[in-house]
Amino acid sequence: MVDQNKIKEAVKLLLEGIGENVSREGLADTPERIARMYTEIFAGMDQNASEHLSRVFTVENNEMVLEKDIVFYSMCEHHMLPFYGKAHIAYIPDGKVVGLSKLARTVEVYARRLQIQEKMTGQIADAIMENLSPKGVMVMVEAEHMCMTMRGVKKPGSQTVSIAARGVFQENDRLQKQFFGMLGVR
């Protein structure tokens, strides 16, 4: 659980650390505001993807399902700066599917915490494998990292792409090509 008082204290200290006057008008409510905001953007820490993925439907047609362009916002754990972009999820059911909105919810669960993009990509794939037991899952995440674009190497617009393949996607080139084809990646 997020401890709002601790965050407030820490933000005050942080402001002092950068040489700010914490009692000036513009900053008066900032610690409180950040504490509330962190409660929202780190809400995924208290959540489990199975809350969303456990309600499954039975299907007979086990064709690939693709949900693309799932917009997400996360926070890099190295700099506590945002990284954000799109997740694309494909899976080949083995008799079980979930409502498409549940895939977006799953992305939220893992995005709303301090993260590493590669780890998040794998966590999404693993959660779908565990809960749906599909024949395979493929997840691709494309994101811009503020720690890359507003500081350090400063490469605005550069995208970090990460991929996780599970089950039949791991060894099957044809399936991977089909996935990239459906995303318009050549």
Active site residues: 76-79, 117, 145, 147
CB nearer to Zn ion: pick between 149 and 172: 149
Question: CA-CA distance, 173 to 61, in Å (whole number)?
Answer: 22
User: Is residue 15 helix, strand or coil?
Assistant: helix
* Residue from 33, 78, 151, 155 in contact with Zn ion (CB under 5 A): 78
CB nearer to Zn ion: pick between 44 and 167: 44
Query: Which single residue brings its beta carbon nearest to Zn ion?
Result: 147
Nearest distance from C-beta of residue 148 to Zn ion, angstroms: 7
Residue among 126, 137, 45 nearest 88 (CA): 137
- Does 76 help bind Zn ion (rule: CB under 5 A)? yes
CB nearer to Zn ion: pick between 79 and 86: 79
In the 8-state DSSP scheme, what is residue 152? Answer: T
Taking residue 12's Cβ as centre, other Cβ atoms within 10 Å add up to: 16
Question: CA-CA distance, 173 to 70, in Å (whole number)?
Answer: 24
| Residues from 133 through 162 that contact Zn ion (CB under 5 A) | 147
- Does 86 help bind Zn ion (rule: CB under 5 A)? no
Binding site for Zn ion (CB under 5 A): 76, 78-79, 147
